[in-house]
Structure 1
């Protein structure tokens, strides 16, 4: 079996990205406190216009398994990143494809892309109650908690800030 391949999303991928992102957030219970957020998640064209949408595709058949949005400071989608930092948002893996390495491949691609762009760090916010497996993935990849970046976008949704220092140059 071939592992996932990460590439930049093409407009033809947008419907699959919208579907799987909303499905993944629903499956995790992340839309119960913010049902209107599904509209934002599904607007892949807007995300692609404000940053880079990356997709993990099945190496054998090209099916879209997951997606993530990478943004820089100043983007309308940047919630945490400051000058010189990149941020990834809306990381989602199709519930039917979870456990196949797509999430880790997408995070690694964000790390590599942020380094290519000359960023000093990569940040993400994660829901406080998110699955332990997601927290372990970020920890395994070197992300550390930064309480100063924690925030609450709406009541009942507590987000924890995580940061990964990147090498000064590659």
Structure 2
């Protein structure tokens, strides 16, 4: 597996796997208000560093958006920090290290930029994601918890360098 910048040819596969991943763990469903945002890969590609993890044949297995403070998709990061958003792994590739590779690529990018920390949020019921980030060294940061809409609770996490 390799992590690389996304290309326009990756946009449709990214949209499909992102929606499938979010639906698969109960974060969205057909007609959910967030799905158009998840499908609009072109918009996020210009808002930050859109990365994919691909297999040896070039098939996209997962994707993530790396964002810096002030960018369109940045929600938590302040000066000296970075964040990543919409990390999604195709259901068929889950449990194979794809999410970890993408998260690590974001940590590496933040370190290259001289950031002091990476902040992210995760759904309160997404236990697999919480375990992954805990194993990687992220810690809960309750002051970053927030709710973008009714019945959606996001837990803040922080990784300090």
Question: Using the alignment, how far apart are the partners of 2:111 and 2:45 within structure 1?
Answer: 19
Superposed CA RMSD: 1.3
1:14 corresponds to: 11
The aligned runs of 1:1-170 (5 Å cut-off) are 4-32=1-29, 35-58=32-55, 60-130=56-126, 132-166=127-161
Question: Using the alignment, how far apart are the partners of 2:12 and 2:128 within structure 1?
Answer: 27
**What per-residue deviation string (whole Å, max 9, x for no partner) do you get for residues 39-95 of structure 1?**
00111111011101100001x211100000000000110111111110100000000
3-state secondary structure, aligned to 1:92 = strand
3-state secondary structure, aligned to 1:152 = coil
Aligned length: 161
Unaligned runs of 5+ in 2: none
TM-superposed CA distance for 1:133, in Å, is: 2.1
Question: Using the alignment, how far apart are the partners of 2:128 and 2:143 within structure 1?
Answer: 23
Question: Using the alignment, how far apart are the partners of 1:135 and 1:98 within structure 2?
Answer: 14
Unaligned runs of 5+ in 1: none
Question: Using the alignment, how far apart are the partners of 2:25 and 2:134 within structure 1?
Answer: 20
TM-score by length of 2: 0.96
